[in-house]
Structure 1
Amino acid sequence: MKNVIFSLVLGVGMLASANATAGDAQAGKAKAATCAACHGANGIGTADMYPNLAGQHADYIVKQLKAFKDGSRKDPLMSPMAAPLSETDMADLGAYFASMDSSGASASTDSGSAPVAVAAAPAAPKIVPDAAAGKHLYEQGDTARGITACIGCHGKDGDSLVLINPNLSNQHPEYIEKQLNHFKDGSRENAAMNQVSMNLSAQDVADLGAYFKDPAVKAVAKTGAAKGAAPVIVAGDVEKGKAISGTCVACHAADGNSLIAMYPKIAGQHEEYIAKQLADFKSGERADPVMAGMVAALSDEDMKNLAAYFATQKVTEGSGTANDIGKKLYTGGDAARGITACTACHGIDGTGMAKAGFPGVANQHVDYLKAQLVKFRSEDRANDRSKMMRNIAVRLKDEDIEALAQYMSSL
């Protein structure tokens, strides 16, 4: 079949957990002969607009090639290049590039040519990139501005532990900046990345790029950065929600911090998520005999207002105990068992992603978290998008659920 030149893009493929079919690296090398024009004979992009592929996860490479082929990711160059590729071709190409050293140092070409030098792109006008601030943003995020830490999905120093999330280490900083801007303006679609990037300023993007140019820099928060919790902005009417919340008090308490472990804390939960759950209880998509009766008389506006009220309340500290097993599963998943890291959707700090529809799990009751994971595992609860939670929970053992619930509650 035809050789391909492919340009792989930064992004988070966090809604899948299956590994790519194992490929043949030697066969991939033969099929990728002409890739050197854009990506270098050693897998290092020959220009800032072309990403490095050397050492990238094979699963991620395969996922992007499939997206180019089926049109879910659009690119005028890559779409026709990927069109004739079979799944075996994609797996072989992924295996070949994944087998390379991420620095490009260990790869060689048939001609013995040296890697092509790449000139750094100039900094944006009037913006002075700050690598230390970029590292702080990468590792800590900025909760005041709704920016989730990148480390949860892309790993320490940019080395992702989740195979469908790309490595960022040794990637062109200019390319990373370009993709962040594409996620920000919506020209590239990914629910999680669009949510995070929309809150990034041009300075933030430049700072993150600067960090990857100088990954050894010491992380320092920007001077004058916002401190403490940011005010919660809601669409519903908080006062109206409070006025009709009387029937919620028995189980969830007046401020949404339930004192009964079997009932969830809803204080500080995302407005969108609360409203969706209320609607699902009413429609029967989420089955619960108690909640079904409670929501039967609620209008769409009532649900929105109740969600706004509870979203603006402050959640109390959880009672869970941090543990290594729970932390490992939450932050890194278990690739061997097909368990995706929880950070991909719920964030490194457990605060979730409001616009993407992923709830906060930090400080939640341990018993409630365990109960929901068990329900997803047994499919007694089935109102998760695209069966994401069910596909993960079915792989969890009882001891995994216990450890995860304890860890999430402790966040």
Structure 2
Amino acid sequence: MPHLGGQRPGYLYIELLAYQSGTRGDNPMSKAVKFLKDDALVKVSAYYAGLEPAQPTAISVARPGPAKPDPAGAGKAATAGCAGCHGETGITKTPGMPSLVGLDPKYLVSALNAYKSGGRKHDMMKTLVSALSDADINNMALFYATQKPARAQTPSPGKPAAGKAAATACAGCHGDAGVSTNPSTPSLAGQDAEYFAAAMRAYKDGSRSDATMKAPAASVDDNAVKDLAAYYASQQPRRPAVRKPLTTAELAARCDRCHGVNGNSTDPRSPALAAQRADYLEPAMRAYQKGVRKSKAMTAMLDGLADAEIERLAAHYAGQRARSVVFIILPPK
């Protein structure tokens, strides 16, 4: 149940009218205010607005289960151990080590899980990913997908022009110029040439299993593979179509435009969020997101936010110090 003490009077009055009219559904609140006159609604709103607001407590901020971290920061932290081979932002400088930038998260998650399960054979990778949770892997894949893409900083000894001609047969799956449009199929643009060639040999001899790659790999000789590797290494990788997750501060900055700094609204029509219960704010935001509670502005602001982002926002505002506001009606000039 939400705190009402110190809430903005205009907002309270508007919501009481919504309950009374049935806009907020048929529930105990709508029944409680159904027969109240407008003057009573005004007085109820003024009464609660005049009370001292609640302040953050461990109970109001807490939610069941561990708090979900900011995926942007969590992904960066989880990839710290990968930088030595794959580069700080997934752009390799080590021949034979793949770049991870420019890969769709769906593909990279699948690849990392294959190493973890032993479906892809690589003792060092299996050891490194064995301790990662699903959340770690998802955050890592998202981190690499949102980095600025660039070509691998490694040599590519083949002939790019010859490789371009040979790559025509690959475009159906891996995209023109090696930029895939299928989240499950890796982009090859900007990839390390030595890694590409090793992967093709592995598909050819069966040490790396993929039914769709065995026949194409078997149809090209070593020189053609070297040329293909040089061609793809020379292409500019692109960032996949993935929304970069916002930090809690960035999310809150958008909300503060209407709800005031740190959720202390100065508009009597906009609710204060500071020190409001997290277990109220979360379902309220999801109700706006799904259109159960009607507000075009709120639905638009929350569109596309993941559950973890909503949870972080709710916890942020639940932990802010609430401040009282006195509204004074000035006489007309």
TM-score by length of 1: 0.38
Higher relative contact order structure (alpha carbons within 8 Å, sequence separation ≥ 6): 2
Could you say which structure has the larger radius of gyration?
2
